[in-house]
Amino acid sequence: MKTNKMKIWIGCGIICVLSVLLSSWYAVTFNDSRLIVPMDFKNYVFEIRDLPMIVSVSLTCIYLAMLFVVLFIHTGKKQRQAEETGVTRKINPRLGRLGVLGFLGFAGFWTYSVNGIVFPFAFFLFFGFFGFYYEGKMSGTFMDERFRENIACAKLKAYRITFGIMLIALVILCQGKLFGSLEYTLIAAIITLSLALALGIFLSEYLLYRYDHDDQAEEGGE
């Protein structure tokens, strides 16, 4: 994905988050918290003041769905190209700065306290994008047999750590309501899942970078 397109997608994501926050503030301040607090949708009657919240949430859902599809297609395309050429894909290491978006996850504590919205916690997943820095450092590397073995080892170790964290979290959360609240349990599950996946994404690139450079150092020492 080109840098300009990446910036556009990031900008759209920020706009979606801001629109949800603003529409939530509007609903709490001017619309009696409709569509924010739990309500009986069987008797729901549309009002024009509900429009900002409906539009912002709809746009955010569409954005997330489109982002998932685009990333899935882009990743598959790059993997096929790498297999055909035998060279790792070219990525600018500065894309690792996208990991800063992970700090948007902390906004979830504010949105939950204000209007009960928990989806911003999912932004912790973006911490995994710090791995783009290490992937960028290895752009254009010829994938010989040793490099492919390092890829397998790095991914295996990253998956083990990620699975271990998720398993421990699952065991703990299945013990019952966290602090006596199902909402806290849901929040803990979202945060744990997002951070675990982010760690897996980051480690797969960091470990590969470390393994590859360790091998080069050993060859240089010989």
3-state SS string over the chain?
Answer: CCHHHHHHHHHHHHHHHHHHHHHHHHHHHHCCCCCCCCCCHHHCCCCHHHHHHHHHHHHHHHHHHHHHHHHHHHHHHHHHHHHHHCECCCCCHHHHHHHHHHHHHHHHHHHHHHHCCCHHHHHHHHHHHHHHHHHHHCCCCECCHHHHHHHHHHHHHHHHHHHHHHHHHHHHHCCCCECCEHHHHHHHHHHHHHHHHHHHHHHHHHHHHHHHHHHHHHHHHC
User: What are φ and ψ of residue 142, in 5° steps?
Assistant: -70, 130
User: How would you write the pLDDT of the chain (222 residues) with one tens digit per residue?
Assistant: 556 777 787 788 888 888 888 888 888 888 877 777 666 666 778 888 888 888 888 888 888 788 778 877 776 776 676 667 777 777 788 888 888 888 888 888 887 776 677 778 888 988 998 988 988 888 877 877 888 888 889 989 999 999 999 999 888 888 777 767 777 888 888 899 999 999 998 998 899 888 887 766 665 555
Q: What is the pLDDT of residue 24?
A: 83
Q: What is the pLDDT of residue 126?
A: 87
Full-model pTM: 0.66
Q: What is the pLDDT of residue 217?
A: 61
Q: What is the pLDDT of residue 119?
A: 77
